Copies of this chain bind each other. A is one copy, B any other.
């Protein structure tokens, strides 16, 4: 039951994701290989390249949406895909720095169907590996022409600061039951949209594209980031374990104030009030009865939290499409960007 089931499937997005990976996968592994062994091993495990014992894994490691957007954003302004590769590394390193640190702070024990790095290597090792990736992200941008590197670095630094504030807000929300929808969207803008905006424009910055084009790509990434987070929040309640890597209703068991939950609690409806009471009680917890979790999910739905989130994700995806209109972009890359946006916000595959 995906909220995006009515959208038409896009066949070429997975091919584009795989194609981009071929470009940045080698440089990314080479950059990580330069880290000192103790942090490198944690990073390789976190990226899914190795198991906890250091043995090499052959399976793929996620969709890598951000680096793919980075490469496409270079192509979209007529530059070779390779121009976007340093940006691809930079955004993927910042993304994974934040995942490593967030998992420590949130005490999350599982990510991508595997134990999180801190559960395997300890808190300190996970913090230090995250630190190393953050520094490596800026290093990744130093091997390009200085003038182009600077614009990319500014964008990366700004996205990183937004990411940090998003996590501050996320932690703050855990202590509150009066979070507004606007605050929650603001948090998603920090935690997801800012780095997605950077990802979708950093290749264009590295190609020294004009301000209007960079701005359009940035707007596309920002709206896509919000759409992505909205869909992610739906999956956190109604998603199947196989695709999310989390148990059904995981976000409800964690009493997470995700967008559907906040929309429901802010609705002024009896169902919203009941949901708030449930959140305020100790009943909702990781080992809660499935029945209670199902009841909470039903309350989100009844209070309109689900439909608002579905509608908002569609509005944001439409805004992402619109952002690319009226600017001069290379047509194939532009179409691929749109297809990827549709694909990653229709995550019932």
Contact = CB atoms under 8 A, between A and B. Distances in A.
Nearest to A154: B142
A97 to B, nearest CB: 8
A147 interface: yes
Interface string A115-153: 000000001110110111011101100100011011001
B171 A157 contact: no
Nearest to A101: B127
A225 B128 CA distance: 22
A327 interface: no
Interface size class of A (residues with CB under 8 A): 35 or more
A177 interface: no
Contacts of A204: none
A104 interface: yes
A36 interface: yes
Interface stretch (A14-22, A161-169, A309-317, A335-343): A161-169
Nearest to A128: B164
Contacts of A36: 161, 164-165, 168
A35 interface: yes
A33 interface: no
A132 B139 CA distance: 17
A160 interface: yes
A124 to B, nearest CB: 4
A161 B91 CA distance: 18
Contacts of A157: 135-136, 138-139, 142
A105 interface: yes
A38 B136 CA distance: 25
A146 B135 contact: no
Contacts of A230: none
Given A142-B157, A149-B146, A150-B142, A127 B128 contact: no
Contacts of A135: 134, 157, 160-161, 164
A39 interface: yes
Interface string A78-110: 000000000000000000010001001100000
A146 B150 contact: yes
B105 A168 contact: no
Interface string A32-56: 0001101100000000000000000
A154 B139 contact: yes
Contacts of A104: 127
A168 B128 contact: yes
Contacts of A147: 146
A68 B120 CA distance: 41
Contact of A105 (B124, B132, B142, B167): B124
B38 A131 contact: no
Interface in A165-215: 165, 167-168, 171-172
Nearest to A35: B161
A254 to B, nearest CB: 16
A254 B161 CA distance: 35
A173 to B, nearest CB: 12
10 contacts: A35-B161, A36-B168, A101-B127, A105-B128, A125-B168, A130-B131, A134-B134, A135-B164, A138-B157, A146-B147
What 7 pairs across the A-B complex have the smallest Cβ distances?
A146-B146, A36-B165, A38-B168, A105-B124, A135-B160, A139-B157, A138-B138
